[in-house]
Amino acid sequence: MTTVYAPPRRSAPARHSPAGAVLALLWAGAAGVVALWWADTGSVVGAAGRLTGAGRIAGLLCGYACAVLVGLMARVPLLERRIGSDRVARWHAMAGRYTICLLPAHIVLILLGYAAQDRASVWHETVTVVLDYPDMLKATFGTVVLFAVGITSARAARRRLSYEFWYYVHLLTYGAVFLAFFHQLTLGNEFNGHPVATAAWYALYLGVAALVLWFRVLTPVRLNLRHRLRVESVHQEAPDVYSVVVRGRRLHELDARAGQFFRWRFLGQGMGWTSTPYSLSAPPRPEQMRITVKALGGHSAAVSLLRPGTRVWAEGPYGSLTADRQSSPKSLLIAGGVGITPMRALFETLPGEVTLLYRARTAADLALGAELEAIANWRRAKVLYALNGPDGRRPDLTARTLRATVPDLAGHDVYLCGPHGFAREMYDQLRAAGVPDRRIHHESFEL
């Protein structure tokens, strides 16, 4: 599998992540939404005024957060490749939790406020609002769906539900947000009779819808029609670790880079329903890409049984764990278990002086070992293995030993990939060893 590619380029300065700018923009939008309320509200009179006022602010923020939530998951390349899919997914999760808190606040405050104004019972008010107010039946239905999405996404529920169930419930979010949209304009004080605010709200929602349509639907369709991917072969690399080579046309046009991943759907054999992220385990070639997968069960276990010729639907490339993050001519790659996959690709292509530290239980568990040795010889790089002792004792990977094994550790960029517990532990040790936060590059598919 080893091939010699062009010699590494000279190290360029790290590209600045647009994360700060994007976050600032999102917060500015939230401030703008509150400003809408501020500009529209003359005075806040009595308890009823306070309740409806707070309910309106919550409602506006909720409407804004819904658009942001969907926009963050639109697979916009700027977000996926420059900020990182994992980081954007975590923002999405935070925004989701926030929305799920704002939503009941909006409902309860508005109903209490209206009831206080009308001197009616909350129950009477609820029935009137839901049944008689324009677009409120739709909004109520949308709200129920949003709560269902929120509940199935809570950590406790996620653990008990299958990925597919969670995923398809999650897809209903689009419908829920659509249903809830209309009451915002017909009943929102801030939009009623305010053409500029209404136009801005339409622009926000239509803009997000356009992003979703373009990047989640049209872009993948175009990619797959153009590149026509099929499984070429499956190889066993270690116990339970398999490589899948996918062949397609003009793959260099994808501009996929070492360290990135695709979301894969293997059509047929009952696997077409799930799309799973797997990193490229070698730099892509003009007609071939390779992933390496640990058979953990379900989807990943079925990968080992894939037959050559199976059609593949891929979306990507995504991920920001690339040479762009490099800010120093020296890099340390740390792989835990099957976390070796993106590290293997980076080990071959990352410019400068590279050291690879590979943590596995036993020598038999080392995947892609021969390739790693070949690359190490070719580019005169070092591979260090951290295996359990014969008595099962875990290797000593502490700040002290790391500093002793890797001279000038603090001057390195560290790329880290592995199971969450391992990555977190390594992060703590690296920080203790004096590696600055911004030099530790990590990407994880877990939230």
Interface positions with other proteins (CB under 8 A): 34, 37-38, 41-46, 48-50, 52-54, 57-58, 61, 86-87, 90, 93-94, 97-98, 101-102, 113-114, 116-119, 128, 132-134, 186-187, 192-193, 416, 423-424, 427-428, 437, 440, 442, 444
> Between 110 and 295, whose beta carbon lies closer to other proteins?
110
> Between 240 and 425, whose beta carbon lies closer to other proteins?
425
Count of other CB atoms within 10 angstroms of residue 215 = 18
CB of 143 to other proteins, least distance (A): 18
> Between 123 and 378, whose beta carbon lies closer to other proteins?
123
Exposed, middle or buried by CB within 10 Å (0-12, 13-18, 19+), for 39? exposed
CB of 319 to other proteins, least distance (A): 13
CB of 165 to other proteins, least distance (A): 22
Tell how strand 241-247 and strand 288-294 pair up.
antiparallel
> Between 113 and 284, whose beta carbon lies closer to other proteins?
113
> In this structure, are residues 291 and 279 in contact, taking their beta carbons and an 8 Å threshold?
yes
> Between 116 and 333, whose beta carbon lies closer to other proteins?
116
CB of 93 to other proteins, least distance (A): 7
Contacts of 138 (CB under 8 A, 6+ apart): 179, 180, 182, 183
Tokens of 50: 């306070």
> Between 60 and 306, whose beta carbon lies closer to other proteins?
60
> In this structure, are residues 346 and 8 in contact, taking their beta carbons and an 8 Å threshold?
no
CB of 346 to other proteins, least distance (A): 18
Contacts of 16 (CB under 8 A, 6+ apart): none
Exposed, middle or buried by CB within 10 Å (0-12, 13-18, 19+), for 114? buried
> In this structure, are residues 77 and 223 in contact, taking their beta carbons and an 8 Å threshold?
no
CB of 183 to other proteins, least distance (A): 11
CB of 423 to other proteins, least distance (A): 6
> Between 128 and 288, whose beta carbon lies closer to other proteins?
128
Q: Between the CA of residue 267 and those of 264, 275, 283, 291, 422, what are the distances in Å? A: 9, 10, 24, 16, 33
Tell how strand 382-386 and strand 353-359 pair up.
parallel
